[in-house]
């Protein structure tokens, strides 16, 4: 993206490491989805 298309305020935010860290973004700007541990656990059955 060309810098002239981005507002000055947004450019300042993009350079602020605390702001970037607060956005929970990784790699190419894809969001990190926080899944609850209970939702991701698989219940184990007794096989005996």
- pLDDT band per the 50, 70, 90 thresholds, residue 38: low
Rg (CA), the chain: 20
Whole-model pTM: value is 0.37
- Look at 8 and 44; give whichever has higher pLDDT: 8
How much is the pLDDT for 30?
57
Q: Quick one: average pLDDT of 24-47?
A: 57
- CA dist 48 and 27 (Å) reads 45
pLDDT class of 31 with cuts at 50, 70, 90: low
pLDDT, position 29? 58
Q: DSSP of the chain, one letter per residue?
A: --GGGS-HHHHHHHH-HHHHHHTTEETTTEEPP---HHHHPPPPPP--
pLDDT, residue 5, reads: 78
């Amino acid at each position: 993206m060309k810098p002239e298309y981005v507002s000055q305020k947004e450019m300042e935010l993009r350079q602020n490491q605390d702001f970037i860290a607060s956005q929970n973004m990784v790699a190419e700007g894809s969001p990190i989805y926080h899944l609850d541990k209970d939702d991701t656990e698989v219940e184990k059955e007794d096989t005996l």
